[in-house]
């Protein structure tokens, strides 16, 4: 088991895994537009925006944007995968979770990009670069911000601790722990406030994403898996497959009838049974996916312990063995119709389907 310890920024730089370079054809970012929202009747207030500055009157009345999400894309110069991969983050998190692990290793976004897959990454409404609107009713309730102690437990890294000190985390970590414990403080830097009242905004933004880019394969995590199922039910022709990483809930009644032709892969670690809440969540999601399977949907389950990968928790894309997990997902993607381009004669390991 790795020693928790502490990790400085110098340590982070030293730990960076600098893999062989790859070439991009294009990269960029965009906002998924939101309908204009009009504010009226709010008070005009004076603010000093910098120490010693001159007060400025801010009039909040007028037109604003509410419900926008932010996306980025990376297109490899030599794509070997015809369908883009779209990464949808989990609750309290942003698209950063897919990019680089807390201890500086290569995340899944770059793993699949390096293997020839066009990739898209999203900060959903209210998270990261998407922003939120303080006067909109969707944000009238208090925001939820997870503590380090709560995150350590709820994300199935270890049992509950009173204080998230390095020694406490080390002692409480579950057996064979694959999470980079020394970087837990860095992980907490990416935990963001979230609201429980923005689902309709988030779903609309994801539907805009599906409308904007080519038919795609969604790789979604936890809270994001429910949005993947619901958005796919509304845009079934835009989604060719869904990989659900430890799904937190199903996609509702609408998805049961609409997902007939969309294959699903469910991926689970082996630490869920240590916490009373997660076995209940999996029992409910298992029942939901069983209904989909009974309707003819292809539902495959990847339980990592059965693949001899032990000690994995809720954040599988950040684990010390994250590339081994990604390789198993890549093999499953080989069976998605139209996913891989014809062989160009190169036998290197740059194809998405190869680990």
Residue 325: which CATH number? 3.40.50.1820
Cβ–Cβ contacts within 10 Å for residue 49, how many?
9
- Look at residue 13 and tell me if it is in a domain: no
- Look at residue 312 and tell me if it is in a domain: yes
**pLDDT tens profile 41-97:** 999 999 998 998 899 999 999 998 899 999 999 999 988 888 999 999 999 999 999
- Look at residue 158 and tell me if it is in a domain: no
Number of domains in the chain: 1
Tell me the average pLDDT of the chain: 89
Quick check: 2 pLDDT over 50? no
Query: What pTM was estimated for this model as a whole?
Result: 0.89
Domain extent, residue 313, equals: 25-34+62-132+197-333
Interatomic CA distance for residues 241 and 262, integer angstroms: 5
What average pLDDT does the segment 115-128 reach?
A: 96
- Look at residue 7 and tell me if it is in a domain: no
Alpha helix stretches (DSSP H) within the chain:
9-15, 108-114, 148-154, 166-172, 184-188, 199-212, 223-234, 252-258, 277-294, 322-333
Q: How confident is the model at residue 199 (pLDDT cuts 50, 70, 90)?
A: very high
- Look at residue 190 and tell me if it is in a domain: no
């Amino acid at each position: 088991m790795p020693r928790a310890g502490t990790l400085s920024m110098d340590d982070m730089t030293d730990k960076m895994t600098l893999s062989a370079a790859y070439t991009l054809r294009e990269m960029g970012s965009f906002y998924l537009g939101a309908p204009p929202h009009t504010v009226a009747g709010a008070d005009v207030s004076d603010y000093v925006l910098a120490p010693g500055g001159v007060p400025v009157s801010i009039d909040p009345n007028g037109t604003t944007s509410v419900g926008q999400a932010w996306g980025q894309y990376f297109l490899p110069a030599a794509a070997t995968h015809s369908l883009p991969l779209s990464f949808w983050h989990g609750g309290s998190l942003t698209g950063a979770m897919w990019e680089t692990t807390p201890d500086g290793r290569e995340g899944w976004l770059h793993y699949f990009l390096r293997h020839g897959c066009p990739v898209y990454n999203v900060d959903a409404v209210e998270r990261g670069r998407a922003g939120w609107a303080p006067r909109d009713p969707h944000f009238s309730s208090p925001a939820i911000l997870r503590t380090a102690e709560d995150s350590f437990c709820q994300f199935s890294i270890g049992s509950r601790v009173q204080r998230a000190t390095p020694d406490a985390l080390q002692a409480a970590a579950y057996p064979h722990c694959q999470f980079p414990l020394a970087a837990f403080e860095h992980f907490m830097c990416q935990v963001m406030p979230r609201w429980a009242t923005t689902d309709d905004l988030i779903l609309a933004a994801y539907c805009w994403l599906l409308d904007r880019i080519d038919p795609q394969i969604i790789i979604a995590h936890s809270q994001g898996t429910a949005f993947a199922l619901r958005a796919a039910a509304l845009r079934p022709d835009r989604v060719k497959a869904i990989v659900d990483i430890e799904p937190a809930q199903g996609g509702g009644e609408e998805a049961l009838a609409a997902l007939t032709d969309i294959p699903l892969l469910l991926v689970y670690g082996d630490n869920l049974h240590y916490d009373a809440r997660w076995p209940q969540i999996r029992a409910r999601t298992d029942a939901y996916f069983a209904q989909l399977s009974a309707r003819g949907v292809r539902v495959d389950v990847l339980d990592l312990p059965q693949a001899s990968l032990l000690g994995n928790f809720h954040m599988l894309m950040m684990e010390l063995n994250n590339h081994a997990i990604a390789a198993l997902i890549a093999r499953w993607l080989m069976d998605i119709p139209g996913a891989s381009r014809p062989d160009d004669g190169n036998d290197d390991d740059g194809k998405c389907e190869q680990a």
